[in-house]
A and B are shown apart, each in its own frame.
Chain A
Amino acid sequence: GAVVSQHPSWVICKSGTSVKIECRSLDFQATTMFWYRQFPKQSLMLMATSNEGSKATYEQGVEKDKFLINHASLTLSTLTVTSAHPEDSSFYICSADSWETGGDYNEQFFGPGTRLTVL
C-alpha cells in the first residue's frame, strides 16, 4: 500500500524557535497533501490543504503566518511552526491522496504523526 512518512516523529523545542516537519509520500505522487492537528482525546482537526506548486488553503482560525506550509514537489510537503509557543504543543499529522488510486474517492494515506512539545 501507499506509504507516507513524517520526520521527525517527535521534537522538543524552546519557546520562540521555529520547527519544520516534513511529510513525504514514499511510493506515490501526491496530488494533494493535508495537515491535521490532534489534541489529546480529541478529533483530528484539518489545518490546511496544499497542492503541489500552489499556496496552501488554510481552515478558518488557522494562522497562515504561524503555520507555514510548502508543497514544493509531488512527494514532499513541509509544515513550519514559526515562533512556537507552548500552546502549539500538539500532535501533527499529514496525509496525502493520489489520483492513482482512482475510483469514486481518492483515499488519503496518513503519516504516523509528529509530536511537538514546546517548552
Chain B
Amino acid sequence: GNSVTQMEGPVTLSEEAFLTINCTYTATGYPSLFWYVQYPGEGLQLLLKATKADDKGSNKGFEATYRKETTSFHLEKGSVQVSDSAVYFCALIGSGYALNFGKGTSLLVTP
C-alpha cells in the first residue's frame, strides 16, 4: 500500500536558517505528492504540490522536487522566518481521492 515517511521533529531553527524536512514515500504507480502546513489553531493548508516526476512545487519560498529515483519529496526553504513555525505534513495521493499523510514535523523558528 501507499505510505509516507517524514523526519521526526521537533525541528528548532534560528530565523534565516536553511530548512530541510525529509520525506520519502512508497506507492504503486505514479502518485501526486503534497506538502501541507498546519499553523497553530488552524486547519491544514496546501503548501505546494507536484504531480509528476522531476516537477518542482514552490510557494512562499518553500520548494520540493518530486524525485522518482529516490522516491523522495524533501521540503526546503533557504531562509526561515518566525512566521513559518507550524507543523508540516508530507502526503501523497495514489489512485482515488484518499490522501496518505506522514506523521508531521513540527518546526519552531526562534528570533
Assess A105 versus B98: contact at CB under 8 Å? Given A43-B103, A44-B89, A112-B42: no
Residue B44 at the chain A interface, CB threshold 8 Å: yes
Cβ contact within 8 Å between B44 and A110 = yes
CA distance A95 to B34 in the complex (A): 15
Interchain CB contact (< 8 A) of A112 among B4, B36, B41, B102? B41
Interface string of A63-94 (1 = CB under 8 A from B): 00000000000000000000000000000010
- Decide: B43 and A97 in contact? CB cutoff 8 A: no
A-side interface mostly? strand
Complex formed: what's the CA distance from A11 to B36 in Å? 26
Docked CA distance A115–B44 (Å): 15
Asked if residues A112 and B98 are in contact (CB atoms below 8 Å), the reply is no
A110 touches which one: B45, B49, B102 (CB < 8 A)?
Answer: B45
Pick the contact of A108 from B4, B99, B102, B103 — CB < 8 Å? B99
Complex interface: chain B residues within 8 A of A107 (CB): 46
For B9, the closest partner residue in chain A by CB is A41
B93 within 8 A of A: yes
Q: How many A-B residue pairs have CB under 8 A?
A: 47
Choose one: B49, B97, B101; the contact of A44 (CB below 8 Å): B101
Classify chain A's interface size. Answer: 20 to 34
The 9 closest A-B pairs by CB, nearest first: A110-B43, A110-B44, A112-B43, A43-B101, A44-B101, A43-B103, A111-B43, A46-B98, A112-B42
Interface residues in chain B, defined as those with a beta carbon under 8 Å from any beta carbon in chain A:
4, 32, 36, 41-46, 49, 51, 89, 93, 97-99, 101-104
Which A residues have a C-beta under 8 Å from some C-beta of B? 4, 6, 32, 34, 41-44, 46, 49, 93, 95, 97, 104-113
What 19 additional pairs, Cβ within 8 angstroms, besides A95-B44, A112-B43, A113-B43? Answer: A4-B43, A6-B43, A34-B99, A41-B103, A41-B104, A43-B89, A43-B102, A43-B103, A44-B44, A44-B89, A44-B99, A44-B101, A49-B98, A93-B44, A104-B32, A108-B99, A110-B44, A110-B45, A112-B41
10 contacts between A and B (CB under 8 A): A41-B103, A44-B99, A44-B101, A97-B97, A105-B51, A107-B46, A108-B46, A109-B43, A110-B45, A112-B43
